[in-house]
Amino acid sequence: MTGLYERDKRSLSTLSNLRFFPQSITGGKGSYLIAEDGRRLLDFSASWGAASLGHSHPALAAAVAGALKDQAGASHLSTANLPAVELAEKLLALVPDRAAGRVWLGHSGSDANETVARAVLAATGRSRILSFKGAYHGGTSGSMAVSGHPVQQGVPKAAGLSLIPFPDGYRDGGEAAAAQAALDHLRALLDGPVPPNEVAALFLEPIQSDGGMIVPPDGYFQEVEALCRRHGILIVADEVKVGLGRSGRFHAFEHLGIQPDIVVFGKGLGGGLPVSAAVGPEAIMNHSAAFSFQTVHGNPVCAAAAKAVLETIERDSLVEQAAEVGLHLKGLLERLQEKHALVGDVRGRGLALGVELVTDRQTKEAAKTATALTVYRAFELGLILYYVGVSSNVLEFTPPLTLTKEEATAGVALLDQALSDVAAGRV
């Protein structure tokens, strides 16, 4: 198999232009991808967190093969099937009581968020939604309509959408000041132009991931929750990227000390297969606005994959592993901060970490070019890493939950080298 990258470019849509480097992958095992030229690449991205169990995990392969062999129907629309029912039962048992009503199964984080956005408006009879500047909730029209990431500038927003600031301790004068300013903004909004009794829901990411892996200040979301409860505003936790153990707790919202009404899962839920879920109260998830009629949703193969992912996370204590290895990885990244002037901030939880690169630690000017060069150089050295952030200057770490401490150490050594090469102009 040669020339895969060129064949891909000639045959597939230009989506491939979004890639960070010219990579063709022909296989993978655990935390490593095998490139077309035979190189082993340590994967610190896991395709933006989708490959939660790493590559070629035997439990996932067995579940998918088994579901295909004994396939019972092709969709939960046409007939009840065991894997979809078991997955739904499992998810209901995992979410807070207030969300444990019904499960909607989809194919992506985008379709799940879009469905929830439609359903909360219809079920509450309210016309407005709150979401955060910098938030990424998906790439379909309805999920982009409730997102605030600048990459989607020019995309029509939901009619009643208000975007509020996400408190960023690094850039907004420290945690306390950032939280206060964001709360003041929200309170002023609800006291003025946005009547709270018109707001159906607030969409939140427990760590704002594509916006720059920003961890909200302690206590901030508890205040937001109190405001929402006072006004009957539903809370939607988008756990698509950082949920299911990645943050070092099963749900990332557990770190915030809040109880959402609706929880959205995707990416890592399928371990790389297309499956998502929205779990929420019956009155919302059973509302006709949540009926989306996508032919093969709740299909037994993807449902079996998701069930295997959840079982493996539990059986192999991957939440605990993500917490422990994440702490180790974060410690190593903090040491890079001492060594490389480019590193402005190291943040995150568990195996959802970010390293913000700046040209100057005082002005905090985003080191956009250096970030792209670092990612490219790391790839040349054998480390897969992507970047995020509203200024595209945050290295993102979302490796498989199965990553070991040794692999974390090996990857950071490559990143160390990449940062040195970029600083010395060797790239």
Query: With binding defined as CB under 6 A, does residue 115 bind ligand PLP?
Result: no
Q: What Rg value do the Cα atoms of the chain yield, rounded?
A: 21
Q: Does 48 help bind ligand PLP (rule: CB under 6 A)?
A: yes
User: Which CB, 131 or 391, lies closer to ligand PLP?
Assistant: 131
Asked whether position 33 contacts ligand PLP by CB under 6 A, the answer is no
Report how many residues bind ligand PLP under the rule CB under 6 A. 17
What does the alpha-carbon distance between residue 41 and residue 411 come to, in Å, rounded to a whole number?
A: 10
| Identity of the residue, 135 or 415, whose beta carbon is nearer to ligand PLP in the bound complex | 135
Asked if 240 touches ligand PLP (CB under 6 A), the answer is yes
Token representation of residue 201: 């829901």
| Burial classification of residue 215, based on how many CB atoms lie within 10 Å of its CB (0-12 exposed, 13-18 middle, 19 or more buried) | buried
Among 101, 169, 266, 280, binds ligand PLP (CB under 6 A): 266
Report if residue 52 touches ligand PLP, rule: CB under 6 A. Answer: no
Least CB distance from residue 126 to ligand PLP, whole Å?
22
Question: Whole-angstrom Cα distance, residue 270 to residue 79?
Answer: 21
Nearer to ligand PLP, 241 or 246 (CB): 241
Alpha-carbon distances of 90 from 85, 103, 307, 308, rounded to whole Å: 9, 10, 8, 11
Q: Is 134 in the site for ligand PLP (CB under 6 A)?
A: no
Q: Site residues for ligand PLP, window 269-328 (CB under 6 A)?
A: none
Candidates 37-45, 136-144, 317-325, 368-376; binding stretch for ligand PLP (CB under 6 A): 136-144
Which one of 45, 47, 209, 247 is in contact with ligand PLP (CB under 6 A)? 209
What backbone torsions phi and psi does residue 267 show, to the nearest 5 degrees?
A: 35, -100
Written as one letter, the residue type at 220 is: Y
Report the nearest approach of ligand PLP to the CB of residue 339 (Å): 30
User: Considering the rule CB under 6 A, would residue 396 count as an interface residue with ligand PLP?
Assistant: no
Minimal distance, residue 45 CB to ligand PLP, in Å: 11
Nearest alpha carbon to residue 135 among 389, 344, 351: 389
Q: Cα angle vertex 252, ends 182, 284, to 5°?
A: 85
CB 131 within 8 A of CB 166: no
Give yes or no for residue 372 binding ligand PLP (CB under 6 A).
no
Of the listed 32, 136, 220, 386, which one is catalytic? 136
**Residue of minimal Cβ distance to ligand PLP:** 109
Query: Which of 43, 114, 175, 205 is close enough to bind ligand PLP by CB under 6 A?
Result: 205
CB of 208 to ligand PLP, least distance (A): 8
Our CB check for ligand PLP shows the closer of 240 and 290 to be 240
Give the start-end residues of each E strand in 32-147: 32-35, 40-43, 102-106, 128-132
Q: Which two tokens stand for residue 356?
A: 């913000």
User: Can you point out the beta strands (E) in 220-306?
Assistant: 234-238, 262-265, 276-280
CB 228 within 8 A of CB 202: yes
376 catalytic? Reply is: no
Q: Within a 10 A sphere around the Cβ of 30, how many other Cβ atoms?
A: 17
Which residues contact ligand PLP by CB under 6 A?
A: 48, 108-110, 113, 136-139, 205, 209-210, 238, 240-241, 266-267
Q: Which residues are catalytic?
A: 136
